[in-house]
């Protein structure tokens, strides 16, 4: 049995299906509890139903970015693993970085899926799971105190004129995060003369800037929920066309 036959085997689909079914049932139970709590507070049933319907509709397009992530990872990790990782906890940027780092440590690459084995897959999933689990564990033990401290700092910063240290720290971390990706794309363009990743990133950035303009200048607040999905879809489509 080859690698992809094992990575997409029926037992894996069953295991992932059980986990996702548990998550789906939990979501339904929380929706029910929230709905009943709203009625207990005296909220009108029509308002609650409208809120549920509008929230469901507004999650459709943003969830496309998650689907795109599943498609991107499934080419190397198989559908069940990618489906599980991006349906429960994690995001494409982290999962892709962690998976590629684990693969490179073993002397292979996700770009060359033909060189992967089930041993590689198990190790990659172990690295991804271990890395993402610390956030959950830290939240259990330190989430409440962290939230209380963050609220205090936020209230203090609101009383001051201009931006606080926390505001600048968040901006700096975001710039560093983006710089990590853009730097690798620039290096690939300069060293290997491979411009497609850099052009794709630039197109995605331009689309995101256009969405931001529509949200802030044209007061199209609903666009904010769709900006990530639109930028990914348009950039990926452009990448395919540029690669032809």
Q: How far is CA 167 from CA 134, 180, 217, 236, in A?
A: 24, 20, 23, 32
CA 90 to chain centre: 6
- For the chain, give every domain's residue range: 1-159, 162-244
What integer pLDDT is reported at residue 10 of this predicted model?
92
Which residues of the chain have a pLDDT value below 50?
A: none
In percent, the amount of the chain with pLDDT more than 70 equals 92
Measure the CA–CA gap between 233 and 211, rounded to whole angstroms.
Answer: 13
The residue to which tokens 């005296």 are assigned: 42
- Residue 69 has what pLDDT? 78
Does the predicted model carry a pTM greater than 0.85? no
Provide the pLDDT for residue 218. Answer: 83
């Amino acid at each position: 049995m080859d690698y992809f036959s094992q990575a997409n085997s029926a037992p894996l689909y069953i295991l992932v299906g059980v986990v996702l079914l548990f998550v789906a049932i939990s979501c339904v139970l929380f929706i029910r509890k929230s709905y009943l709590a709203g009625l207990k507070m005296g909220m009108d049933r029509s308002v609650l139903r409208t809120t549920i319907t509008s929230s469901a509709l507004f999650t459709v397009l943003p969830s496309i970015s998650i689907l795109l992530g599943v498609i991107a990872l499934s080419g190397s990790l198989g559908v069940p693993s990618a489906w599980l990782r991006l349906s429960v906890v994690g995001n494409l940027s982290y999962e892709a970085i962690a998976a590629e780092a684990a693969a490179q440590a073993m002397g292979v690459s996700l770009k060359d899926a033909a060189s992967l084995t089930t041993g590689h897959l198990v190790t990659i999933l172990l690295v991804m799971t271990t890395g993402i689990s610390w956030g959950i564990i830290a939240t259990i033990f330190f989430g409440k105190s962290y939230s209380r401290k963050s609220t205090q700092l936020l209230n203090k910063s609101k009383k001051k004129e201009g931006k606080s240290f926390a505001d600048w720290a968040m901006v700096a971390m975001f710039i560093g995060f983006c710089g990590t990706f853009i730097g690798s794309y620039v290096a690939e363009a300069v060293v290997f003369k491979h411009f497609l990743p850099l052009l794709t990133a630039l197109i995605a950035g331009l689309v995101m800037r256009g969405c931001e303009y529509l949200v802030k200048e044209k007061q199209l607040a609903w666009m904010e929920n769709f900006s990530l999905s639109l930028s990914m879809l348009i950039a990926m489509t452009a990448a395919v066309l540029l690669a032809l």
